[in-house]
Amino acid sequence: MKINSKDFRVGHKEKVKLRQRPTIIKPFCKSKKQYQKLLEKHVEELSSLQQLHYASAHFALLLIFQASDAAGKDGSIRHVMSGVNPEGCEVFSFKQPSAEELKHDFLWRTTCRLPERGRIGIFNRSYYEEVLVVRVHPEILRNQDLPEALRDEKSIWKERYRSIVDLEEHLYRNGTRIVKIFLHLSKNEQRKRFLARIDELDKNWKFSLADIHERKYWKQYVKAYEECLHATSTHQAPWYVVPADDKENARLIVSRIVIDVFSDLKMAYPKTTAKRRRELKSIGKALAK
């Protein structure tokens, strides 16, 4: 079964209803062995494309992962990017903002971590937290030391969407390609994964009472994600809604998305000039002696 990344892409200004989008689909592979073989193929292809990307150094690639707790962000990053040269890739996880970060605009801390051309940057959560968790918990907004006139909850979300879209369009015009992945997990599957974190000793460290607390706001998060996806999925920086109840399927989809984005870039290894060839031949003769 062929994986078509466009099947999971959110169209520009598309109205998103997450309940109408599946959290699980038919497996692409009939067995674990077949899955591992296909994932290895994707990883090898990504490794080759990343090497070309690093050598050509005309574009930067930013991958943004957003999801509810236990949706598999860490696992997707670890498995899909396992073959990528660490020198050409950086991963940043954004937790609760520090006191210093709160003194700046909400895009500041992530802007400092944007990838340079030739490299891949991966954001495990991102500036989108400021229109998701902050929207679900408006008390966080009230603690951000913004002037009261700028904290109007009737307008601030649209203004933040605009800031995000403007930033992403600016980055696109300057050679950064952005891929935004929402791992779409069902509430029931999240419950199963939380129980596994309790039952399996080597997963206990992953479990937090805060995760259970956030489940109470499931409907509010769904609404926040729907409005966010609608407002910020653009031609230049699209969102992809990836069914995440099946981890193996999700990893195959994510890897296919990244491969397709890379493949659309006009990349080539730097051409060697006649002068450079003469220099290299001269060096080669010296080494031969």
- Tell me: pLDDT of 205 over 80: no
Backbone angles phi, psi at 23, to 5 degrees: -95, -10
In which residue are the tokens 């050409």 written?
88
One-letter amino acid at 161 equals Y
pTM of the model: 0.92
Residue ranges with strand state E in 113-254: 120-124, 176-184, 239-243
**Residue 158: band (very low, low, confident or very high) from pLDDT cuts 50, 70, 90:** very high
Spell out the domain ranges in the chain: 5-288
Whole-number pLDDT of residue 101: 92
pLDDT in tens, 160-197: 999 999 999 999 999 999 999 999 999 999 999 999 88
**Domain 5-288 top-level CATH class:** alpha beta
- Reference 240, options 250, 274, 220, 174; nearest CA is 250
> Between β-strands 60-67 and 120-124, what pairing exists: parallel, antiparallel or unpaired?
parallel
**For residue 279, what are the CA distances in angstroms to 55, 144, 282?**
20, 58, 5
3-state secondary structure of 56: helix
